[in-house]
Amino acid sequence: MALTYATIAHIQSAHAELQKTFREQKTLPLEYRRRQLLQVARMFQDNQESLCNALYLDLSRHKLEVSMPEICPTILAAIRAAESLEEWNRPEKPKVEEWRSSWDTTIYTVPKGVALIIGPWNYPFGTVMLPLIGAIAAGCPCIVKPSEFAPACALKLAELFPKYLDSSAYRIVNGAVAETTALLELKWDHIFFTGGGPVGRIVAAAAAKNVTPLTLELGSKSPVFIDAGKTDIELAAKRILWGKQQNAAQICVAPDYILVPREHQDATVEAFKKAYKTFWPHPKGALDPLSEYSAIITPRHHVRLLEFLRRTKGTIVHGGNAEGSKRLEPTVVANVGLDDALMEEELFGPIIAIVPIDNLQQAIQIINERPIPLVIYVFTDSEDTKNEFLRSTRSGTLTLNDTFAQLGVHEMPFGGQGESGYGSYLGKFSFDTFVQRRSYINVPPAAEPFMGLRYPPYTEEAYQALPAPAKIVIPDN
C-alpha cells in the first residue's frame, strides 16, 4: 500500500482538533495519561513482527537491530512513564527564607500545550515514540510527522495510532516538504525535531516566528579517541565497528572519525580487520546475503558515500566494496588528513576514517577546533585521560569504552550542544521537555503588618525595618 500524504485541510483540521482537546483538558487527568502510555506499550508489543517487517522494507534492518534500539526501549519507556506519573507531576514546595515562610509557594508541573514531533528516517520508531511518551506523560496532545523516506514505517504508524491511541489527542500526519511546511506554519506550544542541521535551521526559523520552544536533536561528526597503550585495541575496534555497522552507520551518534597515535595506526587497522571477519565470516563479508547487513537509505545517499571514497586522499585499507545502488560494506580508511574529504561533514555511512595524531593534546585540539559533537567516544583505562576529556572538551555526551551505550541509559539526558542540537530527552527528561514549571505564590492577608511597610509615604522606620543592602551579610572568601 502506498503512503498517502495529508492534505493541507486535513493538517489544519487535525491541529484545530488537538487544540480543542487541550482546551477541554481531556489530556490532564493522570489516569487518562496512564491509559495512553500503556496503549503505546501494547501497540509495540502486539505488533513487533509487523514493525520489524516495515523497517526491513525500508532499511533492510535485521530484527535484532529493530527490537534492541527501537521496540523494547519504547515498550519499557512507556511502562516506566506510566508508573512514574504521580512522582513526576507532584507539586514541589521550595524552601524559602524565614520572612516568607507564611506564604504558600508551590511549583506546579503543567503541560506546555499542543506539540509537534518531526521524525527522521534512520530510526523511524524510537525517534518519534520516545519523545511522544514524554508528551503523553506531560499531558500534551501531539501530532507526529514521520519521515517520508521510510514509507513502510510511516504507513505502519498511521495504521496503528488510531487503533491504540485517542485520535482526538494523538495523530500521525504523513507527507513530504509541502506538508511539513504547512505544519510549521501553524502555532505550536513545543516542536521536537530530529534530523540534519540544514533542515533543523529551517525548523528553528519557523519556530522563532511564533516564539515556540524547540528541541533540536541533530547530528555531528562524533570523534573517537583510542588511547593506545592504555586500552585494549582489539576490544576497542570491535566496539567501534559494532557502532559503525548499526543501520550502516546511518545514525547521529555513529562514530565518525578515529584519532589514534600514529605509531598504533597499523595495529588499529589490523584490529578492525579481525573484528570484521568475526562479524561477517561469509564469503562476501557484510555484503553477503547471509550477513543481513543494513542498506543505505537511497541511491542518492549511496552515491554521496562513494564520492567520499573517490575523493579521499587517505588509503582504503579494508572494504570499499559496493553493490547495487544501496549497499556499501564497512570501509576502513587510514592516513586521513584533517583537510580530507572525509573530514568535511558528518559521514552518516559505514566509512571509518582513521586520523593519525601525535598525542592526547593534539586529539583534544582537533576536537575543539570543530563544532561541538553530539558525543565523544574515548577508549582508555586511564583516569588522567578521562579527566582531561571531561575538563577540556565539550559534547552532548562523553562515553568511555563503548559506542551507543549512552542511548540505553534513560536515567540520563540525551541531547546535543550548539550545532549538534539543544534540549534533551529519554526517561524523565522526555517528560521535562514538554512541561512548564509554573510558579504559584499566595501572600496571605496575615502578612500585611510586615508587607505594609513597603507602601508610600516612605519613612525612615520602613527603611530600617525592610531588607537593606548594608544589612546583607556577605561570607568571607
Nine cell digits for residue 420? 549538534
Q: Is 217 in the active site?
A: yes
Three-state DSSP class for 98? helix
Q: Are 376 and 225 in contact (CB under 8 A)?
A: yes
Would you put residue 346 in left (φ > 0), alpha (ψ -120 to 50) or beta? beta
Instruction: Give the DSSP per-residue string, 207-269.
Output: HHHTT--EEEE----EEEEE-TTSS-HHHHHHHHHHHHHGGGG-STTSEEEEEEEGGGHHHHH
Q: Are 203 and 210 in contact (CB under 8 A)?
A: no
Catalytic residue among 70, 179, 217, 419: 217
Catalytic residue among 52, 142, 153, 252: 252
Nine cell digits for residue 264? 598504533
Nearest by Cα to 400 from 376, 425, 430: 376
Q: Are 122 and 251 in contact (CB under 8 A)?
A: yes
Q: How many residues does the chain have?
A: 477
Cis omega (within 30 of 0) for bond into 283: no
- Residue 456 CB: number of other CB atoms within 10 A? 6
Give per-residue burial for 128-152: e unless 16+ CB within 10 Å, then b.
bbbbbbbbbbbbbbbbbbbbbbbbb
Q: Are 154 and 124 in contact (CB under 8 A)?
A: yes
- Residue 444 CB: number of other CB atoms within 10 A? 10
Nine cell digits for residue 222? 562524533
Which residue numbers are catalytic? Answer: 217, 252
